[in-house]
Structure 1
Amino acid sequence: MTTATLSLSELTAAATRAAQIAAAASDAERAAWLTAVADALDANVAELVDIADSETSLGPVRLTGEVARTSGQLRLFARVITEGSYLEAIIDHADAAASPPKHDLRRLLRPIGPVAVFSASNFPFAFSVAGGDTASALAVGCSVIVKAHSGHLKLSERTAEIVAEALRSAGAPDGLFALVSGREVGTALVQDPNIKAVGFTGSIPGGRALFDLAVSRPDPIPFYGELGSLNPVVITSAALAEKSAELAAGLAGSFTMGAGQFCTKPGLVFIPTGTGFAADLAAATKDKPTSAMLTGRIADAYPDGLRSVASVPGVTVVSGTVQQDATRDGAAPVVFSTSAANVLERPDELLEECFGPTTLLIEYQDQDELFPVLAKVPGSLTATVHALPGEDVSGLVEQLSGLAGRVLFDGWPTGVAVNWAQQHGGPYPATTSLFTSVGATAVRRFQRPVAYQDAPEAVLHPALRESNPLGIPRRVDGELVLP
């Protein structure tokens, strides 16, 4: 698993060999590999947090929590694969009396092979070297080559050393995990014929360029990208009338969290026209401190994004200033306001993500105006409804379900639980796929179905053998059979 002296082609060849061994390993063996990595990260948390803070300025509290989330993800996937339903094992027995006669068919999901993972800037642990993409791919028996993010390169290299040593000590095959860096290497990685899928979290332009490379290869491969998200929030008149100040405080805390660099930041907030909510939000935001941004490039881009929004006709600045130097002083919160009618007139200018602690209030007259403007919102990871108990929001929920992968009620989207039910995806550009990048079903991205017809028992995966030696849930002759 040492990468320093190997070329990219040598790394991907080694990853191919390792993937074959990993695919043949038992779920218990792979679970032990994941647990070993989790234990190693926890054992080195102090060192890793120090390095991460020096490169990202996210602070020890946030980073320590993120290491715990990362090790927790690894342990979750260890449980997922030992529980067994991730294989989707299905058996349909032969039926000679059927017309036409039915063969014995047995199907399960198999690992697709070596996977390329691109680290994110805003989560240097949880969406990085040992993050969810890496963990879910390793879990199902894929090898992984991670492209390090330039914003935390030292951390990536040290994390990779810890991961590689933990895997080696746990008995994982050489070549199962590797780290590379550099833009050109990342491009070549996507195009390498040994790579069978790509996981990416980052900007729309960068992700789309890699997505196009992945699908234009002689052998196109899946590209699982998380590229951007506006995460609309809709607040009803009744909710504002009862708790405007409370909602303003919650929104202020959410859109400024992590300097507004969370992929689930609420970037659009739809409110009824003629309320005092803008003033409440300005009051809730005025004492929020400036925050260092992840990289110099991101800090330079934030004021440019603010000025772009402010220059659109019909947009007013509710609080904060667009004239700021985020590189020198840190990013300061800014709240904008406009009308739903203006968004309908200028969707390309106003429905574009601005990475940083800013949000746009959009005032709507009624549902007849709200629903058309929601239809213009690009695909998002989340959508949020704030309403009072008893309000009929079924039509609104139906519309929001069509544009986001997770619909929240009376809460805020920042903060993503890692569990069996989590869905962290959405229509493009939120993600380029139907499958989530967080939660148990993240493993589905790196598997493909294979059916075996009239196969001898000896060649079948244990999950498909008649006696069910693994003791896992299966569907047999159309019926779900629990162990």
Structure 2
Amino acid sequence: MTIATLELTALTAAATKAAKAAAAASDVERAAWLNAVADALDANVTEVVAIADSETRLGAARLTGEVARTTGQLRLFAGVITEGSYLEAVIDHADPSATPPKPDLRRLLKPIGPVAVFSASNFPFAFSVAGGDTASALAVGCSVIVKAHSGHLRLSERTAEIVTEALTAAGAPAGIFALVSGRDAGTALVQDPAIKAVGFTGSIPGGRALFDLAVSRPEPIPFYGELGSLNPVVITAEALKARAGELAAGLAGSFTLGAGQFCTKPGLAFIPAGTDFPALLAEAAKDKAPAPMLTERISDAYPDGLRAVAALRTAAGQPAVDVVSGSVDQDATLNGAAPVIFTSTAANVLESPDQLLEECFGPTTLLIECSGADELSEALALVPGSLTATVHAQPGEDVTALVEQLSGLAGRVLFDGWPTGVAVNWAQQHGGPYPATTSLFTSVGATAVRRFQRPVAYQDAPETVLHPALREANPLGIPRRVDGVLVLP
């Protein structure tokens, strides 16, 4: 064994032991751990924001808001577990008179054990060391080992120190949280037999490689990956007639927000053919200044991606896209990433979907002009799974069929808004068909905890061995389903 392997084995062994203690802790105790971490991050906000800004160049205002979102997530999950319905407690009493006779059965969800979490580059707090994956796993009683992102390593290390100190002071078991760094450590973490699930936010190639490792282990494990998303927007002719200028301003603000590095950036917009909307969007985007990107690798990749799009040709050898605004020949590393707007047609998409429907990470979007509803529907059918889909229509328009189609390709459907903004609450869904995510469950919102739980049923069990949620008197006072009826406390 190498030293790195020995160190990782020690971490996963400690995580295994800690997971047993965390699973045995009460919801109130685990909620206190989460609140302690949230309080500690809030107390150190000035320090961690300064570190984050030096590594990511996202700006103090954006990063301060992201810390607040992160601590809000921690407190949300503290509330989720103390409310109790996350356990999905079900009781079916015995019925000897049934044919065949029915035993007493009681079911709930239990934590799965140690979890690996991979930090994201574009959200150094909310999807990173103490982000939603970590919070939701800790909430249900799993231990967590985070793989730090190389783009903000110093921040990851300092955040991990704050989290560890807060958990220790709050009485959480030793080994419940740890941090590793480096590509090799991440790969080994996914393959370690002690790890029972993985949460990942990142690129399609990187995520797919880890996904394949997770499912090819001797004991396959779930891999909850958020990989890539085009987030299509559909604007109807009636909406353009009524508020084209407003829509152009909204789209320009959304696709350039954060230098186009949001996972919910609208990378495609389907519009009726023959309008002046492309020119309006170009006008709305002209004053959007170039912005630094998160890492040198991302900065180098952005112009390469732009040039690849601009070089696309139809089967007849004609350009498949037009550049409406901006330049594909730019140095995003030296000067920052500048917005670029492309246009194409639904006919071109139908001819070359793999080339045109590919994510370009950065402040760029592709307008796709459609000749009618049928062509729009055919082109949408080729869009890969996305986190979001947006509809801009006028009151009274029948968009039922459109919404049904969009809900089949995205996890969140928006109306008359823009997708770059993800509320963190009970109803939120931040997932979608592959490649948006690799699973059915979301990485944001209350149901994120479901990823790190598994159901266990107890048949004719003595009450003394049952979890309090399954005992007859309901000592926790939580919602339960008893003999098929939902019973509220």
The alignment's TM-score, normalised by the length of structure 2, stands at: 0.98
Of 326, 330, 335 in structure 2, the residue corresponding to residue 320 of structure 1 is 326
Alpha-carbon distance, 1:416 to partner: 0.2
1:386 alignment counterpart: 392
Of 398, 423, 440 in structure 1, the residue corresponding to residue 446 of structure 2 is 440
The alignment status of 1:306 with 2:306, answered yes or no, reads: yes
Find the residue that maps to 1:174 and give its secondary structure: coil
Distance 1:131 1:73 in 2: 8
Distance 1:107 1:125 in 2: 35
Find the residue that maps to 1:7 and give its secondary structure: helix
Distance 1:144 1:363 in 2: 46
Alpha-carbon distance, 1:158 to partner: 0.1
Distance 1:282 1:465 in 2: 63
* 1:418-457 aligned within 5 A: 418-457=424-463
Query: 2:411, 2:433 within 8 Å by CA — same for their partners in 1?
Result: yes
* 1:293-442 aligned within 5 A: 293-313=293-313, 314-442=320-448
* 1:63-74 aligned within 5 A: 63-74=63-74
2:316 alignment counterpart: none
Distance 2:97 2:395 in 1: 56
1:266 alignment counterpart: 266
Alpha-carbon distance, 1:141 to partner: 0.1
2:194 alignment counterpart: 194
The alignment status of 1:132 with 2:162, answered yes or no, reads: no
Find the residue that maps to 2:456 and give its secondary structure: strand
Alpha-carbon distance, 1:172 to partner: 0.2
1:235 alignment counterpart: 235
Distance 2:438 2:10 in 1: 29
* 1:23-81 deviation digits (Å, cap 9, x = unpaired): 00000000000000000000000000000000000000000000000000000000000
Distance 1:368 1:421 in 2: 32
The alignment status of 1:119 with 2:125, answered yes or no, reads: no
* 1:93-150 deviation digits (Å, cap 9, x = unpaired): 0000000000000000000000000000000000000000000000000000000000
1:95 alignment counterpart: 95
Alpha-carbon distance, 1:354 to partner: 0.2
Find the residue that maps to 1:262 and give its secondary structure: coil
Find the residue that maps to 2:146 and give its secondary structure: strand
Distance 2:304 2:49 in 1: 31
Distance 1:93 1:378 in 2: 46
Of 473, 477, 483 in structure 2, the residue corresponding to residue 471 of structure 1 is 477
* 1:141-290 aligned within 5 A: 141-290=141-290
Find the residue that maps to 1:293 and give its secondary structure: coil
Alpha-carbon distance, 1:6 to partner: 7.0
Aligned AA (2:413): V
Aligned AA (2:371): Q
Distance 1:6 1:148 in 2: 19
Find the residue that maps to 1:77 and give its secondary structure: helix
* 1:400-419 deviation digits (Å, cap 9, x = unpaired): 00000000000000010000
CA distance 1:65–1:411, shift in 2 (3 Å): same
Aligned AA (2:89): A
Aligned AA (1:160): A
Distance 1:152 1:280 in 2: 37
CA distance 1:5–1:346, shift in 2 (3 Å): closer
Aligned AA (1:351): L
Query: 2:89, 2:470 within 8 Å by CA — same for their partners in 1?
Result: yes
The alignment status of 1:482 with 2:476, answered yes or no, reads: no
1:79 alignment counterpart: 79
Aligned AA (2:405): Q
Aligned AA (2:407): S
Find the residue that maps to 2:69 and give its secondary structure: helix
The alignment's TM-score, normalised by the length of structure 1, stands at: 0.99
Aligned AA (2:442): T
Alpha-carbon distance, 1:11 to partner: 0.2
Find the residue that maps to 1:438 and give its secondary structure: coil
Distance 1:210 1:105 in 2: 38
Aligned AA (1:74): L
Give 5+ residue unaligned stretches, structure 2: 314-319
Alpha-carbon distance, 1:5 to partner: 12
Distance 1:334 1:218 in 2: 46
How many pairs align? Answer: 481
Find the residue that maps to 2:184 and give its secondary structure: helix
* 1:429-464 deviation digits (Å, cap 9, x = unpaired): 000010000000000000000000000000000000
Aligned AA (1:50): A
Distance 1:147 1:5 in 2: 14
Percent identical among aligned pairs is: 83
Aligned AA (2:246): E
Query: 2:4, 2:185 within 8 Å by CA — same for their partners in 1?
Result: no
Find the residue that maps to 1:109 and give its secondary structure: strand
Distance 2:60 2:298 in 1: 21
Aligned AA (1:27): D
Distance 1:373 1:165 in 2: 52
1:7 alignment counterpart: 7
* 1:248-301 deviation digits (Å, cap 9, x = unpaired): 000000000000000000000000000010000000000100000000000000
CA distance 1:33–1:160, shift in 2 (3 Å): same
Task: Name the Cα RMSD after superposition.
Answer: 1.0
Structure 1 outlier segments of 4+, above 2 Å? 3-6
